[in-house]
Chain A
């Protein structure tokens, strides 16, 4: 165990938070839940100040550690880090603090800090989330941080993404139409059609959906992200019919849409709120329609 700072009023806070969490679980919008929680936290704040020596709260992180070539880390273990909590702090902020302050070997991918690069999908308190997009105040403390399940762990919180990338490649993830206008003329696209593909184009390749899907676990199922990528092109009116035909054949093959059992786990964890399960269902319908056409 590499780190420890005086554990001031963490206990107190962990308890408070647990209660809050139980109350608010049923609320619909994550943001409202978070704001409500923030309000409650503010109300509780004076109480914790009187109990502690200092008004600095610390959050306890329990972080998965593993390194195949370092003595003592070959057997996976959890390390505890006690990080001073500040308002608005995210899981990623806390990990950076722990790394830069306590243990520079703590390893995780991250880059943009704003939920667009898709590097820091993690398994946080038992759910796939982006570290940068997850407020500590929304979580039960201590916070348990693990690498994405169903993927091989390279080191600490870093998983091997190769399988995910291969599945993306398998759906020919690129615009295929060769018959485009010349020069400065654009292909026209209806606003409605652009709206239709909008959510599907928001994918940031974080892999949260794939990790949450127990059908994708260990198998060759294309998975929600790759099927969503196919959806983005199938539904785009700028690609012509022959290309769409090819795409439908790919997605209804053995490892395609029919393996989905509509459990909605992918939709639940998607940090960009893409209705992945709906997209898969819609492609199932397209595939059926397409097959009827040839009867």
Chain B
């Protein structure tokens, strides 16, 4: 057991974490990264499409902001959206200056391509493997700067003080479990902890997300008292391979790929799912269209439709989308140069997450979040393709700088319980939250509030937790996890209704109760993935409950959230952010305002048509 001390601790080493660490380092902080993988294994590497940035003549960040607000179905916060769009060109060029291998135009400048929901072709890309290049380029810069990386070190819990009001609490660090040795370590952060742990896609059975995407940061922040925001908004990507969930980039449609049903119809146009944009309509629109086609009996095997790009020609495909050939070939046995690819919607991205302001700061002092785990909110009810990677670099950098003590401006977004405008009004069919009054560490806490003693007390509690899991001769977490994935996939998917959502809450409750008797059967302290995954499963349960509660409460159709019986966006009632706070094990649903006032204009909600 060791205590490590740094100014800034970044948890997670994907795009947002790497960018935060580099920024904190450049601001003069002693920064360390703690990741359960090795940085280059992070799931940012799987991002394919590109980075939206208003870089070129004829484009303007204001247009990018307008597109993003419209795409969000007016649930994005204008100050955050404008920050994203203003900072993205500079941050994107920073990657080029660090040597990232962008695709190029004839004149040697970086290429950009059209993406769904964008009024200008501003998606900057590196083949169909943009995330891989972004991840490796930034890791290279971390190596160059000699930034300390604790790899294969699983952060189990945050070390937070225990004042009654979350806004009065302080985060002093976190507890890591060294996967290779089984040793528990304390990490003290004098400046701040930046969570950059990615999304919780593993709560679904069919997902583009990696096995590591268990939303650990979201679950830890939630239990420490930070509300999770807008979690019911889950993006289902319309083009994933049916057998594995592997993602086929929107770049295929951006370059001119066409969707067909089993009748050979170009259904996006034929059945009026989209007005002008056809295949390039927003992701939620295309995903629902595909499921509707399959339900109407016009799908192929496995409820798939066909995505055809053969007409683009081998040269163009090889130049711009080469890795799609490999993915379709290796994971579906289909050569897309010769035949159409079967595709269907799969869970892809969690729009919601840890509530933060434009500096990435949460309501708990010293606790930050950036990237998919955070909700700042730039994506609102639906994320546009090409807007995730700029979020990583823009808000990763801002969080890193702020945690290192730099002044990054006064945020306009208010966080924490004091932003509450309204209480939630929904009757869940079962009890929610903690099964017994077993308090987590953030709720239990300690009398002496020095950073060292808070970290030590948390360390002690986590040691007890590990010992308990190791000693229990209980059920296998994998059974609980697969039941959770099954109910989420069946009931909290592209189409949602009240009965299904209530059933999901009952099933989640059942998972939570059964989780009380899980045990780790691998007795080893060496590389015990059984233990790690058992802890991850608890994190998934917490988040699934929040997500489903928000979905049950929200009786409207907005962005990615479709509700049977409520087929309109209802701005009168629902132009507000969903917040769920853990509230010491008794989840509290409430709402906060959406900020539509931009720097020099108000984004008046309009009908979102494509």
Q: Which residues of A contact B (CB under 8 A)?
A: 31, 34-35, 38, 67-70, 87-88, 99-100, 104-105, 107-119, 133, 135, 154-156, 158, 161, 165, 169, 172-175, 177, 180-181, 183-191, 194, 197-198, 201-202, 204-205, 233, 236, 238-239
Of residues 575 to 605 in B, which have CB atoms within 8 Å of A's CB atoms?
A: none
| B411 located at the interface, meaning its Cβ lies under 8 Å from any Cβ of chain A in the complex | no
* Contact between chains at A201 and B525 (CB < 8 Å): no
Name B96's contact: one of A35, A113, A187, A190 (CB within 8 Å).
Answer: A187
Pull 26 A–B residue pairs with CB atoms less than 8 Å apart, ordered by A: A35-B333, A88-B244, A88-B331, A104-B476, A104-B520, A105-B528, A111-B210, A111-B211, A112-B43, A113-B210, A115-B326, A117-B43, A117-B46, A175-B137, A177-B99, A183-B93, A186-B93, A186-B96, A186-B97, A188-B107, A189-B104, A194-B102, A198-B101, A198-B127, A201-B101, A205-B38
Bound-state Cα–Cα, A88 to B522, Å: 30
Q: Which residues of B contact A156 (CB under 8 A)?
A: 527
* Contact between chains at B329 and A31 (CB < 8 Å): yes
Q: Which residues of A contact B526 (CB under 8 A)?
A: 67-69, 154-155
Q: Which residues of A contact B530 (CB under 8 A)?
A: 104-105
Interface size on B, residues (CB 8 A): 67
Q: Per-position contact with A for B36-80: 1 when CB-CB < 8 Å, else 0?
A: 011011110110000000010000000000000000000000000
Given A117-B210, A154-B526, A197-B101: A185 and B93 within 8 A (CB)?
Answer: yes
* Contact between chains at A184 and B93 (CB < 8 Å): yes
Bound-state Cα–Cα, A233 to B529, Å: 36
Given A155-B526, A183-B93, A186-B96: A204 and B40 within 8 A (CB)?
Answer: yes
Q: Which residues of A contact B522 (CB under 8 A)?
A: 104-105, 107
A203 to chain B, nearest CB (A): 8
Q: Which residues of A contact B331 (CB under 8 A)?
A: 88, 114
| B447 located at the interface, meaning its Cβ lies under 8 Å from any Cβ of chain A in the complex | no
Q: Which residues of A contact B136 (CB under 8 A)?
A: 201
Bound-state Cα–Cα, A179 to B518, Å: 57
* Contact between chains at A114 and B327 (CB < 8 Å): yes
| B414 located at the interface, meaning its Cβ lies under 8 Å from any Cβ of chain A in the complex | no
Q: Which residues of A contact B521 (CB under 8 A)?
A: 104-105
Given A107-B529, A110-B211, A158-B527: A116 and B93 within 8 A (CB)?
Answer: no
Bound-state Cα–Cα, A186 to B137, Å: 16
Given A119-B37, A184-B55, A191-B106: A100 and B478 within 8 A (CB)?
Answer: yes
Q: Which residues of B contact A111 (CB under 8 A)?
A: 37, 41, 43, 210-212
* Contact between chains at B98 and A201 (CB < 8 Å): no
Of all A-B residue pairs in the complex, the 8 with the closest CB atoms, nearest first, are: A175-B99, A188-B108, A105-B522, A174-B140, A100-B478, A174-B144, A180-B97, A111-B210
* Contact between chains at B140 and A173 (CB < 8 Å): yes
Bound-state Cα–Cα, A110 to B528, Å: 14
| B129 located at the interface, meaning its Cβ lies under 8 Å from any Cβ of chain A in the complex | yes
Given A177-B99, A186-B93, A205-B40: A115 and B330 within 8 A (CB)?
Answer: yes
Q: Which residues of A contact B45 (CB under 8 A)?
A: 112, 116-117, 204
Q: Which residues of A contact B524 (CB under 8 A)?
A: 67, 69-70, 105, 155
Q: Which residues of B contact A38 (CB under 8 A)?
A: 333
Bound-state Cα–Cα, A154 to B101, Å: 35
| B489 located at the interface, meaning its Cβ lies under 8 Å from any Cβ of chain A in the complex | no
* Contact between chains at B101 and A194 (CB < 8 Å): yes
Q: Which residues of B contact A183 (CB under 8 A)?
A: 90, 93
| B606 located at the interface, meaning its Cβ lies under 8 Å from any Cβ of chain A in the complex | no
Q: Which residues of A contact B436 (CB under 8 A)?
A: none
Given A105-B521, A117-B46, A174-B140: A161 and B129 within 8 A (CB)?
Answer: no
Q: In the complex, given contacts A31-B330, A111-B37, A185-B93, what are 11 additional A-B residue pairs having Cβ atoms less than 8 angstroms apart?
A: A70-B523, A87-B243, A108-B529, A114-B246, A161-B38, A174-B143, A175-B98, A184-B89, A189-B104, A189-B108, A238-B99
* Contact between chains at A118 and B40 (CB < 8 Å): yes
* Contact between chains at A113 and B520 (CB < 8 Å): no
Q: Which residues of A contact B520 (CB under 8 A)?
A: 104
Q: Which residues of B contact A154 (CB under 8 A)?
A: 180, 526-527
B414 to chain A, nearest CB (A): 32
| B190 located at the interface, meaning its Cβ lies under 8 Å from any Cβ of chain A in the complex | no
| B440 located at the interface, meaning its Cβ lies under 8 Å from any Cβ of chain A in the complex | no
* Contact between chains at A116 and B211 (CB < 8 Å): no
Given A114-B246, A173-B143, A236-B99: A88 and B333 within 8 A (CB)?
Answer: yes
Bound-state Cα–Cα, A34 to B107, Å: 41
* Contact between chains at A187 and B97 (CB < 8 Å): yes
Q: Please name the residue on chain A nearest to B327 by beta carbon.
A: A114
Of residues 94 to 126 in B, which have CB atoms within 8 Å of A's CB atoms?
A: 96-99, 101-110
Q: Which residues of A contact B292 (CB under 8 A)?
A: none
* Contact between chains at A117 and B42 (CB < 8 Å): yes
| B27 located at the interface, meaning its Cβ lies under 8 Å from any Cβ of chain A in the complex | no
Q: Which residues of B contact A233 (CB under 8 A)?
A: 99
Given A104-B520, A118-B40: A174 and B335 within 8 A (CB)?
Answer: no
Q: Please name the residue on chain A nearest to B479 by beta carbon.
A: A100
Q: Per-position contact with A for B207-231: 1 when CB-CB < 8 Å, else 0?
A: 0001110000000000000000000
Q: Per-position contact with A for B500-544: 1 when CB-CB < 8 Å, else 0?
A: 000000000000000000001111111111100000000000000
* Contact between chains at B41 and A117 (CB < 8 Å): yes
* Contact between chains at A194 and B38 (CB < 8 Å): no
Bound-state Cα–Cα, A114 to B240, Å: 12
Q: Please name the residue on chain B nearest to A114 by beta carbon.
A: B246
* Contact between chains at B210 and A100 (CB < 8 Å): no
A175 to chain B, nearest CB (A): 3
Of residues 130 to 161 in B, which have CB atoms within 8 Å of A's CB atoms?
A: 132-133, 136-137, 140-141, 143-144
| B332 located at the interface, meaning its Cβ lies under 8 Å from any Cβ of chain A in the complex | yes
Q: Which residues of A contact B89 (CB under 8 A)?
A: 184
Bound-state Cα–Cα, A174 to B89, Å: 22
Of residues 307 to 328 in B, which have CB atoms within 8 Å of A's CB atoms?
A: 326-327
A169 to chain B, nearest CB (A): 6
* Contact between chains at A34 and B333 (CB < 8 Å): yes
A257 to chain B, nearest CB (A): 21
Q: Which residues of A contact B527 (CB under 8 A)?
A: 107, 154-156, 158
B34 to chain A, nearest CB (A): 17
B359 to chain A, nearest CB (A): 23
Q: Kindly name the residue among A99, A111, A133 whose own CB sees the greatest number of chain B CB atoms within 10 A.
A: A111
Q: Please name the residue on chain A nearest to B530 by beta carbon.
A: A104
